[in-house]
Structure 1
Amino acid sequence: MAAAKTLLAAKGVAKTFRLGKVEVPALRGVDLTVAAGEVALLMGPSGSGKTTLLSILGCILSPSAGNVAVLGRDTAGLPEGELAKVRLAHFGFIFQGYNLFPTLTAEENVRVALDLRGVKGGDAVERSRQALDAVGLGDKYRMLPRDLSGGQKQRVAIARALVAEPDILLADEPTAALDSETGKAVIAILRELAVTHGRSVVIVTHDPRIAAFADRVIRIEDGRIVGQGQEVS
């Protein structure tokens, strides 16, 4: 069987932040690849560099050194306008705090991702509803975030991230505010999407309970990868 295509590759990635006159290294020469259909967890103590790495992988933050390639395209040195196009074309983002608009319905929150890509009208409505159907919220189209549970809000956020059919999904602590069973259900959705549709999914988490849903756990300490393990056959 042929090896899965690499969708995301970091080579020699370093990041240093300046606090006054002091330089603080957040990442120190990280090498990492993520394949299509793979769910990878980034785990490590607070301050280890997990979220910084996720932001660099998603072309939100530029590295101080090294490079990230997205579907084989090097992003080093690209201007912000080009990086924004890369993000729109290839990434979906899921955040711990859901980042839903409180005055928009579930369907409208999902449709925002299509508006950014110029998809409007009936096509946008249909695709938004299909995305909500896919995460089990087919009966919640018209509900506002205040009327949804934490798990339902996170499913709306997943639907919004998925509606444009991105190649890569990046999630920052997506289960942190959820109970154990709801958190497992959310991760199960992400795993199914990775396996069924060949997407790469990278998740920053402190939650060891979801490790069983991952193909690989990447452990980070002091800005370095210190271990990688295969968790699911």
Structure 2
Amino acid sequence: MTAPFPPPRGRISLVGAGPGAADLLTLRALRCLQQADLILYDRLVTEDILALIPAATRRIAVGKEVGANAWPQSRITALMLAEAVSGAHVVRLKSGDPTIFGRASEEIAGARTLGLAVEIIPGITAASAAAASLCRSLTTRGVAQRLVIATATDEADGAVPETLAPGTTLALYMATRKLAEIEATLLARGADPQTEVAAVCHASQSCETIHLAPLKGMAALLSGKPDFTHPCVLILTAGVLSQTAALPAVAAAV
């Protein structure tokens, strides 16, 4: 008796959607979206990106909202693995880059436990998009030799875990709800009160806004602005005051 064919094995692609502008998506990511059987996408993936997905492709929004999390990570991972085991090519579409605050490690571990093929297709991360909008470098020879990317919320204490050492550019993600804590923490750890904070909201998108403020007082200056909204990345470079004249015309100094 002939043995039955083994069941088909799917694969998983962790794809970076970038900061939001459709023309910043990589060609490899675009090809992957067009070949997928199922796409699980995050809340911050823009409509411009979603419009590139073929109409017949199954798609499920699995974005997380603070205080209303219908899709915890365990549920997302379980669905992704179940679909891939059944033979589907599953794309996990994340804003920015999958390896930066994208929970990629958990999803990769799950795939490998089941022997599923998994790949990462990188995307442009928010710090790079913000620097492009500001038309400045994240590192400058003789000024900032290090780039630190950190989340402004930490599971351990709820506040930014970093200091701002000389010669460092600090990019803080998920910062809109933690301005007062960020300000107090960095000042307490020795940061110059006059360090410029460049806040770039919705980087690369048509609704992008840019705000500038000194570190001391930035929470009061930024939090009351109606166009200071999530997603937003804060860029600070230790000991260097930026030259406002070099910023694009859209920049609004607070």
Kindly indicate which of the two structures has a greater share of residues assigned to helix.
1
Kindly indicate which of the two structures has a greater share of residues assigned to strand.
1
Give the structure-1-normalised TM-score.
Answer: 0.28
Give the structure-2-normalised TM-score.
Answer: 0.26
Q: Which has the larger radius of gyration?
A: 2
1 or 2 for the larger relative contact order (CA 8 Å, sep ≥6)?
1
